[in-house]
């Protein structure tokens, strides 16, 4: 469940409904008598539908990259221009600019995706291990996914999953998402106890949530 793009509105209605807003955010309309667990189970059963519709909206909002010289690409919250290089090894290099081997321009999307995925595994694994040690959490393993709208998740068996697209965001946002999933190791829902624990670790977490709501649609291509 995308914790940053979900709003629950209760009313006299009799059934639960899911509304995908124009910005890709999710609004849940539920009866007043529906419990948080019932709402979460319903949303989880519709997750594929939610993610499919969010992806369509985000695709319309974010025109596809052309991978031409001068075009800018995000990494850790900063934008770097693209330059085509005569050297084709490595295929993609970041050195103040993104240098892409010109023979790989037609496969640029694949090259960028593989580069981001590798960086995501390195950075997220390092930060997750550090934050887990600092705050006495133990997870089983890290999984890097290709999710477009779900930043992270925590499985019942202790596997933490994160989309590679997170490395487009600033490091403080990456840390917030990791902390969110670490807390889920002990508290499975989004109760007041959960957010209280998140706040203990990250006092400014509301600012990070707001950043994701406002800029999360940019973490894709």
pLDDT in tens, 11-33: 888 899 998 876 677 889 999 99
Query: 117-152: per-residue pLDDT in tens?
Result: 999 999 999 999 999 999 999 999 999 999 877 899
- Within-domain flag for 160: yes
**Is this model's pTM higher than 0.85 or not?**
no
CB–CB of 82/69 below 8 Å? yes
- Within-domain flag for 173: yes
CA dist 216 and 148 (Å) reads 10
Per-position DSSP letters for 108-149, written without gaps between them? HHHHHHHHHHHHHHHHHHHHHHHHHHHTT---SEEEEE--SS
The CATH number assigned to the domain holding 152 equals 3.30.2010.10
Find the helix or strand (DSSP H, E) in which 60 lies.
helix 47-61
Structural domain span for residue 112: 107-218
Q: How many domains does the chain have?
A: 2
- Within-domain flag for 139: yes
Chain centroid offset of residue 137 CA: 21
Q: State whether the Cα torsion 210-170-220-1 is positive or negative.
A: negative
Chain centroid offset of residue 76 CA: 13
Query: 93-108: per-residue pLDDT in tens?
Result: 999 999 999 888 889 9
Residues 42 and 121 in one domain: no
């Amino acid at each position: 469940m995308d914790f940053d793009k979900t709003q629950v509105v209760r009313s006299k209605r009799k059934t639960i409904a899911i509304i995908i807003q124009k910005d890709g955010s999710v609004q849940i309309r539920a009866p007043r008598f529906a419990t948080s667990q019932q709402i979460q189970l319903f949303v989880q059963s519709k997750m594929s539908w939610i993610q499919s519709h969010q992806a369509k909206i985000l695709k319309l909002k974010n025109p596809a990259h052309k991978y031409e010289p001068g075009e800018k690409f995000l990494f850790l919250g900063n934008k770097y221009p693209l330059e085509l290089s005569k050297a084709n090894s490595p295929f993609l290099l970041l050195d103040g600019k993104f240098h892409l081997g010109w023979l790989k321009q037609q496969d640029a999307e694949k090259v960028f995706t593989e580069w981001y995925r590798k960086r995501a595994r390195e950075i997220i694994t390092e930060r997750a291990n550090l934050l887990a040690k600092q705050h006495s959490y133990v997870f089983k393993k890290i999984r890097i996914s290709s999710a477009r709208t779900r930043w992270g998740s925590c499985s019942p068996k202790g596997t933490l999953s994160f989309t590679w697209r997170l490395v487009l965001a600033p490091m403080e946002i990456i840390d917030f998402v990791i902390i969110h999933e670490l807390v889920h190791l002990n508290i499975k829902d989004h109760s007041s106890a959960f957010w209280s624990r998140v706040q203990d670790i990250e006092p400014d977490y509301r600012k990070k949530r707001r950043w994701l709501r406002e800029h999360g649609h940019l973490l894709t291509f």
